[in-house]
Amino acid sequence: MADRPIPIVIDTDIGDDIDDALALALALNSPEVDLRAVTTVFGPVATRTRLALKLLAAFDRPDIPVGTGRAAPLFGPEPKIAPNQAVVLQDGERLPEPSPLGADELILRTAAEAGASFTLITIGAMTNAALALLRDPGLAHRAHLVVMGGVVGTPMAEWNIRCDPEAARLCFDSGIPITMVGLDVTLQCKMTREDVEAVGARGTPPTALLARMIEAWTGVTKNTPTLHDPLAVAASFRPGLVTRQPRRVAVETRGEFTRAFTLATQSDAPNAEVCLGVDAKAFLRLFMERILAR
């Protein structure tokens, strides 16, 4: 590779939708990025941390620190969620210890060590990212933020934004360079049953764990995975997969019926590169090649 890998942190709510685990796997199998840390967010964060540690161990990467983040949104109670993929965790199993640093502290330390090329990828609620920016507003001038969240073409509140609209608004208003990968593009990226079967048939420790996690998720949803979060990871190092347009993104926090809507308007003062299209075939081909690589 001519260029150095991009140092990244992935902030995740792993354990609910399967795409978080698949996004981590894509990052771990992609030489274009250097996964420096993982942080967990929203709800049962201790369980999410254990799931991330188990996945990293399956990839033989116990050296990557996992920081446990905030369970509750900036305003409001902690949600009561039971991650379906927690069934892969065993009582008494030995996993690496989580980082002694909280998620926001780990993000800031990793950013300081990585330098100007640092990228934070949020694939869950944006609470930890907001807390890091509150702790050190200068992060906005030293990092790039890739957000799996929001939607442009449909009047609705996307899940990751809805989990903590105030945190999302703080991030979009902070001045940090943002790439927004929303439902407009991610819904076009779906695994087939043949793809899922290929993961199960691969038979390596990483794919065996991924297959068990997919099975747990499928048992609840009866669907095949949509690759929301993996597309955000891919967009961080393969920008040609998506088409983007500078927009001014505002997050609605006070509307009675429109709370957590993302309003992405054309403006002379854009605050984000908003993804509007995707080469889904090229992305799915890349994703399957990387997931089956080991």
Active-site annotation, residues? 228
Let me know: does 119 contact 27? Beta carbons within 8 Å. Answer: no
**Strand 33-40 versus strand 6-12 pairing type:** parallel
Let me know: does 163 contact 42? Beta carbons within 8 Å. Answer: yes
Sign of the dihedral defined by the CA atoms of residues 50, 56, 57, 61, in that order: negative
| Structure-block tokens of residue 73 | 């949104």
Q: At residue 245, what are phi and psi to the nearest 5 degrees? A: -145, 135
Q: At residue 266, what are phi and psi to the nearest 5 degrees? A: -70, 135
* DSSP-derived secondary structure for 190-235: B--HHHHHHHHHH-SHHHHHHHHHHHHHHHHH-SPPB-HHHHHHHH
Question: CA-CA distance, 3 to 237, in Å (whole number)?
Answer: 11
How many CB atoms within 10 Å of residue 258?
13
Question: CA-CA distance, 169 to 41, in Å (whole number)?
Answer: 17
Burial class for 88, CB neighbours closer than 10 Å (0-12, 13-18, 19+): buried
Helix (H) or strand (E) holding 121: strand 119-122
| Structure-block tokens of residue 151 | 């939607």
What 8-state DSSP symbol labels residue 33?
A: E
CA 115, 48, 144 angle in degrees (round to 5)? 25
